[in-house]
Amino acid sequence: MYHRHWLLDQGMHRRHLSSPAMTRVLPGCLTRTDHPADLRRVVLAAQDLLGVPSAAGGATAAELFGVRLPHRATRAGRAAVHLDFEDGATPRRTPMLVIHRRSPAETRRVHGVTIVEPVVALQQIARRLTHEELVVAVDSLIADRFGTVARLELEEVRRVAGQARGHGASRLRAAVEHARERVWSPRETHLHLMLRRHGLPVPELNHQVQDQVSGVVYYVDLAYPEQRIAIEYDGMEHLTDADRVKRDHRKSAVLHAEGWTVIRVYAEDLLDPTALLARIHHALAPSTRPPRVLSTAADGLRRGRSP
């Protein structure tokens, strides 16, 4: 991060400051376009500009804490930096820096930056997120793997959300009600919410299955263990990464050998889940058929045959 006046004092021409080589990230502050400052440095510079004690709030605090947010709410999506403060005159709002004069909230330090507590930050942005985006965020807070900087216990999140008042409180509580522990990716959130919306039983998330021969442990994205039904989401990396493809084949072989039915899900199935839901309903129904690997309609079309 560089202050504009400092760059001019060092001899940089004004034309260079406005060239594509430099990017303005705060009023009077720039960064190199080919090596941009990270969010932490931007927030520290913003707090220095404000000149009074402040805390990163809203989406800024959530991103610094590692919460899963939609792209538009992140620094990469050109979201503004949000700061909360209590004393002093309210500075002018700019597209890059938004200052909120709010009552003091609980704070914590993350990577040397003072931020409001993550659950409070989510309440502050609850009205700007869809319900699913908010559940994705809460799922990341309570995830035991691939989650935030520090894991929050579900009961603690429920307690804070239950005591919340004001704008966004009811939306936050609704998201916490639908959140689940052991959710390791946004797609898993979308899947478990979709099953809930369509009246299907709530599955277990990242259910552990061990290969009885090799001892290797695999995790099923969504599972109905009693019925031995595994629902696996395959993103693009599952189709293009050779090592991931091999591991998926081994996992399917182990599940099949253990009597599981495997239902594979692709991105297009989330856009039109009709065939996917039909297969899950069919798999959950009592049946004497031997277990087999089921693909969705999209998978069948991908392989050149009708579903």
What are the residue ranges spanned by the domains of the chain? 38-178, 186-302
What's the CA gap between 35 and 241, in Å, rounded?
28
Query: Is the predicted pLDDT of residue 302 greater than 90, yes or no?
Result: no
What would the mean pLDDT of 227-242 be, rounded to a whole number?
A: 80
Q: 132 CB contacts (<8 Å, ≥6 apart)? A: 189, 190, 193
What was the pLDDT predicted at 236?
64
Residue written as tokens 């993103």? 235
- With residue 209 as reference, give the H or E element that holds it: strand 204-210
What would the mean pLDDT of 156-162 be, rounded to a whole number?
A: 96
Q: Are the C-beta atoms of 58 and 46 separated by less than 8 Å?
A: no
Query: Is the predicted pLDDT of residue 303 greater than 60, yes or no?
Result: no
With the C-alpha atoms ordered 275, 277, 279, 285, is the resulting torsion angle positive or negative? negative
Amino acid in the structure at residue 306: S
The pTM (predicted TM-score) of the whole model is 0.84
- The secondary structure of 235-285 as a DSSP string is -HHHHH-HHHHHHHHHHHHHHHHTT-EEEEE-HHHHHS-HHHHHHHHHHHS
Q: Are the C-beta atoms of 298 and 269 separated by less than 8 Å?
A: yes
Query: Is the predicted pLDDT of residue 5 greater than 50, yes or no?
Result: yes
Average model confidence (pLDDT) across the chain:
88
Give the tokens for residue 131.
Answer: 């319900």
Query: Cα(first)–Cα(last) distance of the chain, in Å?
Result: 55
Fold of 186-302: Endonuclease; Chain A (3.40.960)
pLDDT digits (tens, 9 = 90+) for 59-100: 999 999 999 999 999 999 999 999 998 876 666 667 889 999
Which of 1, 11, 97, 14 has its CA nearest to residue 56? Answer: 97
